[in-house]
Amino acid sequence: MQEFIHNKVKVIEEFFDEFNRAQKLYADRSFDFENRFTAFLSKLSDYFKDRGENARESEVFRIINMLHTVKRGFNPSKMEKINTGKRELWWGFSYNGIESIDALLQEIYKKETVKLEEGEEILSNLMLNLYQQGFLTDEKLKELDSIPEIEVFWSSLLSQNGSITVISKKLLTNLIAEDIYLLLEKIILKITA
């Protein structure tokens, strides 16, 4: 089942905000870092579990378990007992975890924003083409000032033009209808501004 890409991007941006606050605590070597980062990792693993993304959930658990292993007094890379410098080793492995989480979030964010950018490019070209052909006028664009209006407009386009139906099917391979309506709203605002 496809998902609402605009919402997924928003959720990932919220995770980035929380992650950046935890990273700031790490940079400041704050005692709050451990609790904040642990809570963040737990929330992130729950997010992936709810979405059925087992590989990403597993990666988050790997980081959680690596940090727990250091707290228990073992070096996770060598599985040797740590006698001294446990706290410094924990900070080092925390940094390793931060890097892994950053790469994971960056990968997801880029993948989803590329889908939106590609959809926006296709729809921008379509709307400009319709405008050049005189099918869309300034007055018609001004009427398209809400998502329900845009939805009706898009549905009428699909019923009138077979080539637009092909474009819609291409868009629907990565997006859902609500994503298309939001992208159209953004494009219309740019054209009418």
The size of the chain, in residues, is: 193
Instruction: Find the helix or strand (DSSP H, E) in which 75 lies.
Output: strand 74-75
Contacts of 119 by beta carbon, 8 Å cutoff, 6+ apart: 171, 174, 175, 179, 180, 183
Output the pLDDT for position 161: 83
Instruction: Find the helix or strand (DSSP H, E) in which 74 lies.
Output: strand 74-75
Angle CA(22)–CA(49)–CA(179) in degrees, nearest 5?
85
Beta bridge partners of 135: none
Output the pLDDT for position 83: 87
Distance CA 136, CA 128 (A): 9
Output the pLDDT for position 193: 81
Contacts of 17 by beta carbon, 8 Å cutoff, 6+ apart: none
CB atoms under 10 Å from CB of 42, counted, come to 13
Distance CA 97, CA 138 (A): 52
Output the pLDDT for position 126: 95
pLDDT in tens, the chain (193 residues): 678 999 999 999 999 999 999 999 999 999 999 999 999 999 999 999 999 999 999 999 999 999 999 999 999 998 899 988 999 999 999 999 999 999 999 999 999 999 999 999 999 999 999 999 998 999 999 999 999 999 999 999 999 888 999 999 999 999 999 999 999 999 999 988 8
